[in-house]
Amino acid sequence: MSYEHFKGRYEVEFKFRLHDKASFLKILNAIDHEVMLQDNLESDCYFDNKGELLAQGKSVCIREMEPSGIKLWIVKGPESDRCEATNITDAVSAKSMLKTMGYEVALSMQKTRSIYFVGKFHITVDYLQGLGYFAEFAIMTDDDTLLEEYRLQLLELASRFGLTNDDIEHQSYRQLQSQLSL
């Protein structure tokens, strides 16, 4: 298992709606890959200050994963590819610190996630109650000159799974989850 897959200031990512998880996993199992974790429950807690971050195209999230025990502080935006995450040891204190700074919980959500490595890329298979199954194809990097090349390579990899541009989900899980709450 390599955490090197998650280092960088930029993340190139495509999220696809899965119509048939079993077929997707059959293709995955037929190619060379490494399993990082399977069927972890991720609890994401998004913080904001009266929608200021959301209006700026930014998000701050504390993620707790079980049974792996991984805890992350994740910041995305304002550019669509901008993403940084760092491991933390105490999610309760991190949440308290954000509240002390004036941030409030804007959204809490859970998903079941499996993470696989295919070469330099990582693929997640996610399930969100009420939304269904998704696959995210992604790579992290510090080199912004590689972003377009990685976009093309990720789309090529996704096509090996039978996924097309019509399957791309352009909204974030946060946006999709917020719509369910309406």
Say how many C-beta atoms besides its own lie within 10 A of residue 118's C-beta. 15
**C-alpha distances in angstroms, 75 versus 24, 26, 124, 145?**
29, 33, 19, 21
46 is catalytic: yes
Q: Which token pair is 111?
A: 């998903």
Q: Name the catalytic one among 3, 10, 46, 173.
A: 46
Three-state helix/strand/coil letters over 59-84: EEEEEEEECCCCEEEEEECCCCCEEE
Torsion of CA 30, 33, 36, 42, to 10 degrees: -60
- Please identify every residue annotated as catalytic: 46
